[in-house]
Amino acid sequence: MEKNQHKHHFLFVAFPIQGHINPVRHLAMRLTTLSNTTVTISTAVSCHRRMFNVSDPNQEVQEGNLTYIPFSNGYDNGFNSETDDPKLYLSTFKQNGLKTLSTIVQSLSQRAHPVTCIVYTILMSWAAGVAREHNIPSVFFWNQTATVFAICYHFFHGYESLITDHASNPEFTIHLPELPPLKIRELPSFITITDPNHPFFSGLFALRCDFEALDLEAGDRQLPKVLFNSFSALETSALASVNEIETLSIAPLMPFLFSGSVDEVHRDLFKNDERDYMNWLDSKEEGSVVYVSFGSVAMMKKTQMEEMMKGLKESGRPYLWVVRKDNREEGVELDEGGEEGMVIQWCSQLRVLSHRAVGCFVTHCGWNSMLESLVCGMAMVGVPQFSDQATNAKLVEEVWGSGVKGKVDEEGVLKGEELKRCLDMVMNEGEESVRIRRRAKMWRDKALEAVNEGGSSYANLEAFLSLL
C-alpha cells in the first residue's frame, strides 16, 4: 500500500472496556504501518489509568506510533455497580465526554497536530457531534459482527415493533433482509429489552443514538461509512443487507498477523497471571487442552462455576481456565494448578489460542474472543451470556460450522454433562468432530487471505484511506 501524500491524524474514541479497546488499538497500529498517519487514542480516565498504571490519571502516554490522551466521563474512578446508578451512567458519560473530548481536539490543533478524522466505537456516537462541532469527518467503527449490525439497523428501521411485540416469546422467529431466520432468543439481548427500568435500557437508548448519527449523515446526502471488525468472506450476506451504508470490512487486525509474533505489547485492563501457564501448555500433547474463558465483563455464577469444573473433570482432558479475580466465588473449589488442569486469573489469549496444545475454546462468544479463535483456526464451544453473544453463538454453530453451542437449563446454566458432550463433539475423532475442526482451519485460511495484500480487508482499508 502506497503512503498517502496527505498526512492524516486519526483520533480514536473508545468505550472504556476491553472488548472495545483491543480492536481500536489493533486498527490504530495497522493504520500507522500502512500510511502516512499519526493516531491518538482516547478513552475514559478510569480505563487509561488501568492500562498504564500512571500516577496522574490525565497523563498523556506515548507508545511507539500511538499517543494516548484520556477524556473524563464523570466516572474517573470507574463505574461502581454497587453504588452508581446504571440509568445515569451513559447520560453522565455523554455530558462530560462531549466537553472533555472537545477540549482535547482544540488542544491538539493548538499544538499543530490537528485531527483530520474521528473514529468512534459503539455507544460513542456523541463523538460524531464533537467532530461536527469542529468540522472534522467522523467514521463509525462497529466492533461487533456485521450480522449484529444488520440486525440492529433493521430493528431501528422498520422492525422494532415486530421484535418488541414478541420479545417475551423466545421461540418467535424473525425474518430480516439477507439474514438467516432468527429466534428472539438468538437476537442481541439489548434490542429485546422492553422494561424502561431495566439497568441495560439506557444502553439501548445509546445504541439508538449510534444509528441516528448514521441517519444524520445520510440526511447530509453522504453515504455513511462504517468500518467493520470482520471480513467479507465470513459475513457476505450481512454486509450486503444494508444498502444505505458504505460497509468496509477491514479485519482481522491482530498485529501478530503482520509481525509474525504473538508477543505484542498488550494493554489489558487485567493483570496477567504470574504463573507459567505457557510452560504448562508446552508439557501437553497437541490438540489436547481445553481452554476456557468468559472474557473481561461476564460474571460466572457460583452454580455455573461448579458445573464447569464438574464437566471439565468428567471430560478427562487437561484444561486451562481463566477465572478473573473479581469473579472468584467463596465456597467454590477450584483446582488452581496441577497436571490435569490449571485455573488462572488472566492470560495472553492469543498466545494460548495459537499454542499447538490447545484443541478447543469454551467461550462466552464475545466477538473479540471469537475473532481471535477464528484467526487461530480453533474450534469453539459457545456458552453465550448477554449482549451480542447469542447471535454470535448461532453463527459459529449454524452458519460457520466451526463449533457448537452448549444447551443451558431453565436457569441458564450449562450443566457439566452438557459441557462434556460438547467437548466430545468438538475434540473426538468422529466424522462430525473432524468436520468442525476442518471448518475452523478453513476460516483461519480465509481470514489470512482477507488481510494479505490483494485481499478484501486490505483493499477496504486502502479504499477507506483514499476516501478521506
Q: How far apart are CA 74 and CA 96, in angstroms?
A: 6
Q: Grid coordinates standing for 381? A: 464451544
Q: Which residue type occupies 127? A: A
- How far are the Cα atoms of 65, 152, 239, 381, 445 from residue 440, in angstroms, in the given order? 34, 27, 21, 12, 9
Residue 20 annotated among the catalytic residues of the structure: yes
Q: How far apart are CA 54 and CA 383, in angstroms?
A: 36
Of the candidates 6, 8, 9, 20, the residue annotated as catalytic is 20
Q: Which residues are catalytic?
A: 20
